[in-house]
């Protein structure tokens, strides 16, 4: 059971670190895209 918790802890640190880096880059692009779509919609409206 101790091995299970050790593996899970290391997996959590690795996964969380990777996702944070990936989402930091991709999420910023998502925000720019979302705001651009809202701006375009308002112009058309």
Partner 1 sequence: MLTTLSQPSGTHFHWLFDGGIVGFYLLVTMAAGIAMRRYVGKLEDYLVAGREMNLHLGIASLAATEFGIITCMYTAQAGYTQGFSGAIPGICQAVAMALIGWTGFCIKPLRQAGAMTLPEMFETRFGRKVRWLSGMVIVMGGLLNMGVFLQIGGKFLCTVAGFDLSNLTLIMTALLLMVVIYTVLGGMLSVLVTDFLQFVVMSAGLLVVSVLILKNIGWDTLVETVRKHHGEGGFSPLANPSLGWAFLANQFIANAAAALTWQAVIVRILSAKDSDTSQRIYTRTSFFFVCRFLLPGIWGIAALATLGWAPLKQLTQEERLAIPVMVQEKIAASPVGAPMIQLTAEETSALALETQAKLSDASLLAMPEFLSSFLPIGLMGLLIAAMLAADMSTNSSYMLSWGSVIYNDILAPFRRTAWSDQRAILWNRCIVALIGLYLLIFGLFYHIEGNVWSYLLLTGSIYLSSMSVLLIACCYWKRANNWGAIGAILLGAAVPVAHLTLEKLPATAAFAASVGKDLAGIAAFVGAALGMVVGSLVKPHPKSS
* Residues forming the site for partner 1 (CB under 8 A): 1-2, 5-6, 8-9, 12-13, 15-17, 19-20, 22-24, 26-31, 33-35, 37-39, 41-42, 45
DSSP 17-35: HHHHHHHHHHHHHHHHHHH
Q: How far is the CB of 37 from partner 1 (least distance, A)?
A: 5
CA distance 14 to 10: 6
Least CB distance from residue 34 to partner 1, whole Å?
Answer: 5
Q: Which SS3 state, helix, strand or coil, does residue 45 take?
A: coil
> What 8-state DSSP symbol labels residue 16?
H
State in angstroms the smallest separation of the CB of 19 from partner 1: 7
């Amino acid at each position: 059971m101790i091995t299970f918790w050790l593996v899970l802890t290391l997996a959590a640190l690795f996964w969380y670190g990777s996702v944070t880096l990936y989402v930091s880059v991709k999420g910023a692009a998502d925000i720019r895209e979302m705001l651009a779509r809202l701006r375009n919609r308002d112009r058309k409206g």
